[in-house]
Amino acid sequence: MEIKLKDSLRKFKFTPVQIVVIGFALTILTGALILKLPIAAADGKSTPFIDCLFTATSAVCVTGLVTVDTGTHWTYFGKTVIMMLIQIGGLGFMSFATLVSLIIGKKITLRERLVMQESLNYNSLQGLVKLVKYILVFTFSVEFAGAALFATQFIPDFGIGKGLYYSMFHAVSFFCNAGFDVMGDFKSLTEYYNNSVVILTTSSLIAIGGLGFIVWDEIYHYKKIKRFSLHSKVVISMTAILIVTGAVLFFIFEYTNPDTMQPMSLKGKVLSSILASITPRTAGVNSVNLSAMTSASILLTIILMFIGGSPGSTAGGIKTSTFGILLMTMISVIRGREDTEYFKRRVNKDIVYKALAVTMIGLGIVITVTMILSFTERGSGMPFEYYLYEATSGFGTVGLSLGLTQKLTTFGKALVALTMYAGRVGPLTIAVALTIRKHDKGNSIRYPEDKILVG
């Protein structure tokens, strides 16, 4: 009996995808338990577990939605725990495990490489450890540079100690596209809307983190490789189009809005428009009152949040490449082309199907969560767009809110936390992790072709 049990346990092994899903969940739970300690709260009392779980989920899933104010509720110990959770979540827990292994001189096994491959959404095992080393060095270098720039503004405002800590926290948070801030009273960067250094450094960190490590690796080695892959071309082009288009539209929509940009100088309006376009991609930081925005700006933000950043980055959403593939597929169909074409390259149909699946699963999650929130949280008295905004922000791991997060019920907090988790790990990854696929050629059946009217 004992031998049979041991044999059964040996046969039961988690796949790399399942390890990624479970790893993120365990990291969240560990963070929640630490935040539950009285030492983590400013009042010296234990924070309700649902708020600890929500905060830990938001940090590991690099979102930024909070039920308690980060700047005033948590002690420096609590804030540091949140910052570490953001760093682990942004890089992926396997990158940190690899860092520890490299420090202690432990050999990276094949199974660990497979999990790293899944965690980074990388398509090859070759050079994977070298890529992780590059990611770690690149991340810490960019965060150090961002912290140094922030320090020039925060030290004069808060003093040396507090200024340096604020600089480091925000550099980590914004590069990892988390959107957490420690300014206090949920005001984010509204007091710095006219500060070029703070706004442009924040925007740059978010954009750099949202491009993806693979893209930056190609940019760094461009002189050697002489050309970009199709993936990098799609990511860079779509990112540039979305940022420029978003900034122009936000500038138009909010230019005459007396509750947001109208009182600002032209410089403040331009800076706020740039940040408003970049931050939904996916870091929840703002320099204007979000709830006072026009309906057009709120809808535009929802669209940008759903698209999100790029694969292999610290951002969430369906990803820029997914949106680009669907857009080019539509254009190819309109042109009467049989294949999806991008930069004079043909995109494999399997990739198109995957992009469609990711988008439909994402839409399904957002619609379902919005519907449930609009029913369970109806006591908050918020309009429908607030629920859609919250659901999309959670799925896209953005962290922007119109003010609904702090009014959520316990059930609402748990639902949004689950949405953030699904958005960070990836809807398709979760679907695959929960599905046992049998690669049996004998079960490969092709049914007769038929037609369905469309449109």
List the pLDDT tens digit at each of the 455 positions of the chain: 444 544 543 455 666 666 767 778 888 999 999 999 999 999 999 999 999 999 999 998 888 889 999 989 999 999 999 999 998 887 765 555 555 555 555 566 655 566 555 555 555 556 666 777 777 888 889 999 999 999 999 999 999 999 999 999 999 999 988 889 999 888 888 899 999 999 999 999 998 888 877 788 788 777 777 788 888 888 999 999 999 999 999 999 999 999 999 999 999 999 999 999 999 877 888 889 898 999 999 999 999 999 988 887 777 888 898 999 999 999 988 888 888 888 888 888 888 888 898 899 899 999 999 999 999 998 888 899 999 999 999 998 888 989 898 899 999 999 999 999 888 776 656 655 555 454 444 456 777 877 777 76
CA–CA distances in Å: residue 7 to residues 3, 15, 420: 6, 18, 37
380 assigned to some structural domain: yes
As given in the structure block, the two tokens for residue 301 are 């933000």
Q: Does residue 239 sit within a domain?
A: yes
pLDDT score of 110: 57
Residue 332 lies in a domain: yes
User: 55-86 burial, b if ≥16 CB within 10 A, otherwise e?
Assistant: bbbbbbbbbbbbbbbbbebbbeebbebbbbbb
72 belongs to a structural domain: yes
pLDDT at 144: 94
In a domain, 406, yes or no: yes
Please give the residue range of the domain that contains residue 345: 15-434
pLDDT of the residue at 246: 94
Q: In total, how many domains does the chain have?
A: 1
439, with CB counted inside 10 A (0-12, 13-18, 19+), is exposed
Say what the pLDDT of residue 221 is: 76
Q: Is residue 289 part of a domain?
A: yes
- Phi first, then psi: give them for residue 401, nearest 5 degrees: -150, 150
Contact in structure between 194 and 288 (CB atoms under 8 Å): no
**According to the model, what pLDDT value does residue 200 have?**
94
Residue 439 lies in a domain: no
Q: Determine, yes or no, domain membership for 278.
A: yes
Angle between helices 196-211 and 266-278 (to 10 degrees): 20
CB 299 within 8 A of CB 389: no
pLDDT at 107: 63
What is the predicted pLDDT for the residue at 5?
42
What's the longest Cα–Cα distance across the chain?
A: 78
